[in-house]
Structures are given as C-alpha cells and as structure tokens.
Amino acid sequence: MFSTRSIRNRFFIQLIFSSAFLIILFSSALYFFIKASIYEEKYQELLQYAKNISNNKAIMQSDSLYPDNFSSLSVEIIYLKSPETGIEVYEKTLDKQRFLTLIYPFNIDDVSYLKVTKEITLTTLLLDKILHYIFIINIAGFVLVILYAIAISNMLVSPIKTLSSRLSNMNEHLMRPIDVKELPQEFEPLGITINHLIARIQNFVKYQKELFIGTAHELKTPLAVIKLKNQVTLIKLRTPQEYIDALKVTNKTIDEMNIIVSNILNIGRQEGAQLDKPVEVDVIQILKQKADDFRLLAENEGKTLHMHFEPHGYMVMLQVSLLNQIVQNFLQNALKFTAKEKSVILRSSLDDVGLLIEVIDEGCGIDESMDLFAPFKRQGNKSGVGLGLFLAKSAADALGAKIKIENRKDGVEGTRASLQLNSKLSCILPQKK
C-alpha cells in the first residue's frame, strides 16, 4: 500500500509515528503532572488535619485552604506493633469508592498513630474526565496534523507536477524554457538546471539537423562531380592517358568524400567517448604533451609555438579523449591560419571559475557574427570540412566546460580560442621543490 520509493508515503509514515509518539509522551506527562498535583494537594490537606489533631488544635482552622466538609473525612487512633518512623500514605478502593489514607505518628511512647482517611472518589472521577478530554483533544490534534501535512505535501509536490506536465508536453520542435520566476524560490535552481538542459537539447537538435543537411549537401556535390566527369569521359573515345587523368580526378573527389565520412564517424566516436568513465588526470601534463607534439609541426611550417602553464599541476576528473580533441582542434586551427614567421601561444591560468586554457594565434581573425560551432561552417579560404569546432563544442558540453572563439583584443590581428574548466572535482597540485 505504501511504496518505499515514494517520498510522500515515507513522509506520512514518519509523520504518523513521530506525531503519535509525541502526543503519547506529552499527554502522559501532562496527565501525570495534573494527577500528581491534585494528589499532593490532598496529601497536604490530610497532613494538615493530622498536625492540627496532634497539636490539640481544631481540625479545621478559620484560615484553612481546604474548606471541604467533614462528611468524607474519617479520623481514628491505631496502634502498631512495630513503630514507624515516617509518614505513610496509601490509596484503596472499597465498594467502588476510592479512599486516601494518611498514617501520622501521634504518640511515640505507646506506638499510637493517627489514621486520617478521606474519600477521593470525586477526585478520581475528575481525573478520569481530564484523561478523557486529553485523549479527545489529542485525537483532534492528530487529525489536524495529518490534514496539515497533506496540504503541505501537496503544496511542495505541486511545482514538481507543474514541471513534469510542461516537460511531458514538449518535443524537439516545441521546447520552451521554463519561467523560473513562476517557481517557488526553493525550486529555482532546479528550473535553471532544466532550462540549461533544454538549451543544450535545442542546440543538439539544431546542430543535428544542420549536420544531416550539411552531410547530404557535402556528399551530393562530389557525387555530382564524379558523375559529370564520367559522362564527359564516356562521350568519346580517349587516349589511355586521358582516362588515367579522369580517374585521378575521380579518386581525388572520392578522397574528399572519405574525409567527410571520416569526420562524421568521428562524431559517432565522440558520442561514445562521452560515455567513457572519467579518470583523474593532470590537465597541465596533457597540455605539455600536446605542446611538444605541435611544437615540431609548427617549426616544420616556419612558425613558433610559445607555451606558458600555470599552475604547476591541476587534477580533474574527465574523459581524456574529449579534452585532447578540443586542444588538438584549437592548435590545428591556430597553425592553419597563422602565417609563416608568426607565433601561436598555448597557455593556462587560474581564474574565479577554475582552469582557463587558451590558444592565441596571429591569423586573419574570424567573423564573430557567424556560428562557427555549427557543422560545415568554414572560416577563410583554407581547406577543411567544417566539423572540427562542432566536435570541440560537443566535447566541451560533455565535459561540462565552456568553449569560446573570439578575435584578439590586444591590438594584434588573430583569434583567441578558450576552454573554461570548472573547478568542481578539481584540485591544484603543489609546486615541486
């Protein structure tokens, strides 16, 4: 009946047991306190009677605090075989009536004691009524607590139901961000997270559509070229050399198609890499390895690769292949668009967010109005399919990092590509001495 997976059911079960425990505890404490107070009053009354008799005074003083009539009071002298040093009080039931009896020392020499007895039947009936009323009030209070808990739980679950209803009515074509201001303050972080997820899904759907359309377009063009070349070749007989030249052109076009297909396969491999188990690595060491690989390539092309890494070490949990893909794409683009005798900078530094990795070149810059992360977007007249930055952006999203491409703002023409790694689950390694 009550599923342990339901937070509401667990809340109700815990509330019922805790409320019942507290009600029983406080009701018992209240009842026994009232009972003890009343019996203490009756005890003091009997004790006063016994003291007055023992001191040869009237049983009832004119200023007495106990003006009950004496019809229910009985006083007698008893003798005990063995003397009692103290005062004894006990209660008994006789013919459905309750009596409270006090044994008080009267004469120690002849071992005589005063036995003062008073009927307390009305007092016990009063205590029974008090207990009955406490029980009724507690049942009513328990019911009110349950009703209040139901109202509170419905109020707390209502935003979740609203979010669930809105999300269930969404699809890849009708995705709208949630108005966080309409949510209770406690649910604002959840709304912000959902909006961030919706934005990522929208970008994914958008880029997937562009990737599909771009792939079809990119493959259609070389296929049309191959078909046209073959048709021209078949129009008339040609020399063997002309056939060889035509086949070379066809092979070149096929190579271009292979590059496109390889890049599309890389997208699939990257999605598989996103599912790899993150491992703890030193990002600075990875950057140094990449810098060593590309430094030789830069020198071979007549360019210079400068490196500056801070801090000495930076441990983080991530998929290494995704980080390599981003940094490699940054360096490849930087060297591709940087002219000879120019330089490229690879550096890292700490900021308020975490670790900032930058690749700065001296190329021709970019058109910042373009969405360079969309598939098949090319910048400049350099060769390429236009999937590198698309893959880098997907890898950065999988790492929970932010990627950015912009023109340099230091007065030098060129581009600045940056990767911002969050400091969560990361730590700085101490400097070696």
Looking only at the bridges linking them, the beta strands covering 304-309 and 343-350 are parallel
Residue written as token pair 């328990």: 142
CB-CB contact of 403 with 329 (8 Å) = no
Q: Which residues contact 228 (CB under 8 A, 6 or more apart)?
A: none
- Look up residue 155 and give its two tokens: 């109020």
Given this model, what pLDDT does residue 75 score?
A: 83
CB-CB contact of 291 with 305 (8 Å) = yes
Given this model, what pLDDT does residue 83 score?
A: 65
Q: In angstroms, how far is CA 36 from the centroid of its own chain? A: 51
What is the rounded distance in angstroms from the CA atom of residue 232 to the CA atom of residue 112? 143
What is the rounded distance in angstroms from the CA atom of residue 110 to the CA atom of residue 79? 8
What is the rounded distance in angstroms from the CA atom of residue 209 to the CA atom of residue 202? 11
Q: Which residues does residue 90 pair with via DSSP β-bridges, in sequence order?
A: 101
The torsion region of residue 244 among left (phi > 0), alpha (psi -120 to 50) and beta comes to alpha
The one-letter amino acid code at 219 reads L
Q: In angstroms, how far is CA 147 from the centroid of its own chain? A: 29
Phi, psi angles (nearest 5°) of residue 93:
-120, 130
Distances (CA, A) of 293 to 76, 84, 417: 114, 104, 19
Low-confidence stretches of the chain (pLDDT < 70) are 1-5, 57-71, 82-85, 169-174, 207-208, 210-219, 221, 259, 263-276, 374-386, 424-433
> How many C-beta neighbours within 10 Å does residue 187 have?
19
Q: Which domains does the chain have, with CATH numbers?
A: 7-144 (no CATH), 190-273 (1.10.287.130), 279-429 (3.30.565.10)
Residue written as token pair 């002309």: 242
CB-CB contact of 113 with 79 (8 Å) = yes
Q: Which residues does residue 153 pair with via DSSP β-bridges, in sequence order?
A: none
The one-letter amino acid code at 302 reads G
> Global pTM?
0.50
Given this model, what pLDDT does residue 33 score?
A: 92
Geometric angle at alpha carbon 25, from 22 and 26, rounded to 5°: 85
CA max distance for the chain: 154
Given this model, what pLDDT does residue 185 score?
A: 75
CB-CB contact of 47 with 158 (8 Å) = no
- Look up residue 274 and give its two tokens: 């996103």
Geometric angle at alpha carbon 21, from 16 and 26, rounded to 5°: 130
Given this model, what pLDDT does residue 430 score?
A: 56
The one-letter amino acid code at 171 reads N
